[in-house]
Structures are given as C-alpha cells and as structure tokens.
A and B are shown apart, each in its own frame.
Chain A
C-alpha cells in the first residue's frame, strides 16, 4: 500500500465516519441524560428525506438542512414525550420511531414526487459542495504534508468540519459547563438533581433536543452532501453502528470520535479491498463489515476494559416513590 492509496482510504474514512460521528454524539447527549435512544437510525432517515425534499423543492440546501433538523427534532420530541413525560419504555419508543421514519419517508416521497419513494436528483445550490481550504492548492506539491492537507483535510463539505468541531464542543459542554454537569448528573442520579431544585424533565428534554439537532445534521449530510437525493432506507444501519461506537467509546466524546473513525476506517478498507491477503491468510470482506459489531460485543463482555452505561439510563424518573 503506497502513500497515496493510504491518503485515499483515510479520505474515504473521513466521509464514512462523519454521519457515524454526528449520530454517535447525538446518542451521547441523550444517553448521558439517561434516555436510551435506538431511534437514531429513524431520525437520521427522516432528516435525510426532509433535507433532500426541501432542498429539491426550494433549490437551497441550507433550507433543506433546516428542514432535516426540524424533522429530526419532531421525532426526538415524540421520543421525549413518550419516554420522559409519559414514562414509557425508551427502547420501544425508539423502535417505533425507526418504523415510523422508515414507512413515512417513502410514503411522503411517493406522494410529493411520484418517483417511487425517492426525491429528484439534487444539483447546484441544492447540494453541499466540497470546500477547498485556503492554500490547499499551493501546498499540494509539498511531500507528505502537502497531500495530507490538500487531499485529506481539505475538500470536504462544511458538515464534515462541523462534525469535527462538535467533538471538542461536546467535551467542553459536558465537562466544563454547569449545564453539562447537570446533564451528566441526570443520567447518573436524577433524584440528586431533583433535590438540588433542577428540573429533571427539562434537562432530559434539552438533551433529547440536542440529539435531534445532531441526528438532523447527520441525515442531511447523507442525502445532500454524500449523495444527491434521498433513496429509501438510505441510512442502511448507520444509526446502529453509531450506537455500537457509543458503547465502544464508553459514552465519552473524544473516544467517540476515535471509535467512529475506526469504524469508518474499517468500512473504507472493506470497500477498497474485497479480500485482504496477509501472507497466506485471506481475510474476507465480510469480516471487515462485521468487525464493528464484534469489537462492541468484546467491549461489552468486559474483555477490554468495561463499558458501564449511565446508571439511570433507560429508567423513567418518578418523583417520590
């Protein structure tokens, strides 16, 4: 494997890891506040559809992004309503959201566009186009660092940089602000937060809303930046891989980024090489595809460190039993 191939694989890794990272951080906010969210997939799918649909109708990708975020937040609100206000089972509510998004997107797409559950192809201003960072062309010929800057770091759509920036931002919010402290506390010991006079319901809804925003961006990235339109079920399980990455990262923002990059890298390698030949030992491509899940199970089983979820995760908060 020469240097240029490596750069190309890493470039592909960045593109594949971005939706995972956004969804993973979305899940992180929600789960750190004690709301398990397996509806990441559904929210991404709904956002992917609405951002592509509105971008196709208006020709403006920013309006599309906004629509995607709103759609995702509506589903988040639904999840919050079911699992926070009415104290329903969070897993069931999440599954319901996945089903709802899967059916609703195709139905609405068929009604609006009559193209069999997809949106028209987007072009021009209806898509996020790659951004060339300053000096990218000037340094192209510098050995090693030149290609790294011009190929790997430059030339992605703005949402990729947004995703990268949201990692330190999430760290800062969670560990350096009052809101973050309360958010983490509400996932560990909601009764303590309540005793301190802070609204558990309010905090949890705030976390779920942030989750909606990030899932919305992830979905919009899939349909308006990576692709030029929505196709049914286009998230193809990325919401679940993001959940696996979240567990793999043990619910920490920087680790989440590395986990998503690792999973993205595995996918990129699997896409580049059908079978990997390690001197006599051939690793079939299916192994690479399954590796994220295998790694997650290994982590969950406690072989490598231990993944301990937030203590109050999955349980609705009831004041005074």
Chain B
C-alpha cells in the first residue's frame, strides 16, 4: 500500500511539474511575419534573448490571415501558455474578446489600445512620436534640398503618429522645410509591397526629397533599396536597419519591442496586468540608432542637438504633440 502511495505521489509530482513546465510564454507575430527586419523581428529578438538567458522555451506562431487571430490566442491559452504576448495593434480587439474566457492567463499586447483594459491584459505602447521627432531633426539637419519624405505602411492612426512626430522634429530644426508624406495603402498588403514602396520613393525624390523615412514594415525594404540606388538617404524603423545599406541609411528610429517582450517574458505569470505600460525616451523604449554604418553621416554637432532635444523631452520642457491627442497633426496634413 505504501509502495502504491509512493508511486501515486511520484506520478502526481510528475504531473505537477509537467504542468509547471507547460506554462511557457507564447508569442504571436502579426501578419508582417517573424523576419520582417523590423517590428516583429524585434519582438522575436527579445524572446530569443530571454530564451538564451534563462534557458527557457517559448511557443510562437506566425499568422497567415486575419481569421487566425482569435484561434491562435485560444489555442495558446488552452495549452497553458502564460503570458501570451501579441504584437500589433490589430490584436487588441481579439485579446479583449478572449481574455474573459481565460482569467488565469495573462495577455500582453504591444501597440494596441482598448477603452477598458480587462484585469488580465496588459497593453504596452511606445512613444513613437518622440523617437520620430529625433530622427526628423536628423533628417532636417542632413537635407540639402529642404524637402524630406515620409512613407507609411498601412494608413492607420499609429503610422500617422510616426509621421507627425517626424514632421514636428523636422520643423523644429527648419521651420520652412517641406515634408512629403505618403501612405502605401489601406489594406494589410501595404506592409509587404516593396515595389510600391520603391515607386513612392521615386515619386518623392522627383518632388525634391533627399531624406526619406520609412515606417512601413516589409515595404520599407523597397524604400531603403531605392533610396540607396538613387543616392539619397533613408531612415529605417523599429529595428536597427542601418546595416542594410551601409553608409546610405542615415539612422533608424528604434522601437524597443525586444525590451518589451523580454521584460514580459521575464515577469512571466506574475506580471502586472490591467493597464497600460508606456515606453518613451525616458525608459529607452524609443530612440535613434548610431553604429559604424552611419557614423560618417551624423556629425558630432547633429548628435549634440538631438541629445539636447532628447533631454528636454525627458524632463518635460519640450512637448511633442501626439497624433492621438486630437486625431490630427499640427504641422502635417495626410
């Protein structure tokens, strides 16, 4: 009998530890795909760093269509994954719908917004306008023609938010600067159309632009390529894209999605939920990339000016207006 007991308790112990091992974090990539060299790749890098440092494992899935969002969330929640991290604004509503059914699972959404946040959901946002402001300053200081360009992916408030910060930064350096802004499209294919990105770049060049900022996911690859081919400078987004065309990418607006994912995975099931986390310049959640590929393009003076603005934004003496404040941009019409 005692032997039986021992077996039973051993089996129970095994089952318990199996249960604990199952509580791996899960990461769901948005339609841009895991290796978009940008937003989703940054999320993947954060998860990868967590896995290397802790020796843990994480579950992941790349979505193929809109319809899979809720399905993927439920699948991970039911398999015991915790927390379930999603990337992309489009996940906010599916997370909201699903969260109530799995009260013991924590959900994280990066970039999303909800009017009311369920108790087990944490929304992580970035102050993209602050980072964009800084690269906008760099663009205006570099531009010789007095015209700079902005190419957005899908036309959504988030991307306008990028463009608005960029325009404000550029205008702060040169009030007379002309900003040509274009969006690639209004459907998710706008994130993956480098040919269109390339044509938009050519159109902006012909309008005089000599620095172009691409906030367009995979479409941005075409923008950076064409800018390099045509001999103008470009600005990358989300991840550090300076290396893609060394010496021809002025800088990249960093959005530390990797840090957000890393921190969420590190906190695991114990993370705080039920509200918003906002990562800005102060938290090093956004910034601009400097490395050996663009060292020759950004002078010490330029960097000093940007650092000064950065300090001012952090201490609150300089305010960059967010597009969301009144759904319009004070210095740029879209």
Residues of A that sit less than 8 Å from B by CB? 5, 8, 12, 15-16, 110, 115-118, 121, 222, 226-229, 231-234, 236-237, 267-268, 271-272, 274, 285-286, 289
Contact = CB atoms under 8 A, between A and B. Distances in A.
A10 to B, nearest CB: 12
Contact of B35 (A12, A115, A274): A115
B37 interface: yes
A274 B33 contact: no
Which 9 A-B pairs give the minimum distances between C-beta atoms? Answer: A116-B35, A236-B193, A8-B206, A272-B203, A236-B189, A233-B192, A231-B194, A271-B199, A228-B225
Contacts of B200: 271
B185 interface: yes
B41 interface: yes
Contacts of B244: 121
Contacts of B255: none
Contacts of A222: 195
Contacts, number: 74
Interface in B127-186: 181-183, 185-186
A274 B181 contact: yes
B203 A12 contact: yes
B154 to A, nearest CB: 12
A232 B222 CA distance: 12
A5 B36 CA distance: 33
A286 B37 CA distance: 28
Contacts of B36: 116
A231 B199 contact: no
Contacts of A226: 195, 198
Contacts of B198: 226-227
Nearest to A129: B229
A12 B192 contact: no
Given A8-B203, A268-B199, A272-B203, A234 B194 contact: yes
A15 B36 CA distance: 25
Given A234-B193, A236-B195, A117 B35 contact: yes
B192 A234 contact: yes
Nearest to A274: B182
A291 to B, nearest CB: 14
A268 B182 CA distance: 12
A45 B195 CA distance: 13
Given A232-B218, A237-B189, A268-B199, A227 B194 contact: yes
B31 to A, nearest CB: 10
Contact of A274 (B194, B229, B334): B334
Nearest to A15: B199
A11 to B, nearest CB: 8
A228 B198 CA distance: 10
A285 B154 CA distance: 12
A231 B196 CA distance: 12
Contacts of B192: 231-234, 236
Given A116-B34, A233-B189, A234-B194, A12 B199 contact: yes
B186 A289 contact: yes
A274 to B, nearest CB: 6
A147 to B, nearest CB: 12
Contacts of B293: none
B57 interface: no
Nearest to A289: B185
B251 to A, nearest CB: 19
B202 interface: yes
Contacts of B206: 5, 8
A222 B192 CA distance: 13
Contact of A227 (B35, B37, B183, B225): B225
Interface in B1-57: 33-37, 41
Contacts of B194: 227, 231, 234
Contact of B196 (A110, A233, A236): A236
Contacts of B41: 116
Looking at A8, A115, A231, A274, the one whose CB has the most chain B CB atoms below 10 A away is A231
Nearest to B201: A271
B195 A274 contact: no
27 contacts: A8-B202, A8-B203, A12-B203, A116-B33, A116-B34, A117-B33, A117-B35, A227-B195, A227-B222, A228-B225, A228-B229, A229-B221, A231-B194, A231-B218, A231-B221, A232-B192, A232-B218, A233-B189, A234-B192, A237-B189, A271-B182, A271-B200, A271-B203, A272-B203, A274-B182, A285-B183, A289-B186
Given A233-B189, A234-B195, A274 B183 contact: yes
Contacts of A267: 196, 199
Contact of B202 (A12, A110, A121): A12
Contacts of B193: 234, 236
A32 B222 CA distance: 35
A228 B195 CA distance: 10
Q: Which of A15, A121, A234 has the most CB of B within 10 A?
A: A234
A164 B194 CA distance: 24
Contacts of A271: 182, 196, 199-200, 203
Interface string B192-233: 111110111011001000000000001001100100010000
Given A8-B206, A115-B35, A274-B334, A286 B186 contact: yes
A193 B229 CA distance: 52
A313 to B, nearest CB: 28
Contacts of B37: 116
A121 B189 CA distance: 21
A7 to B, nearest CB: 9
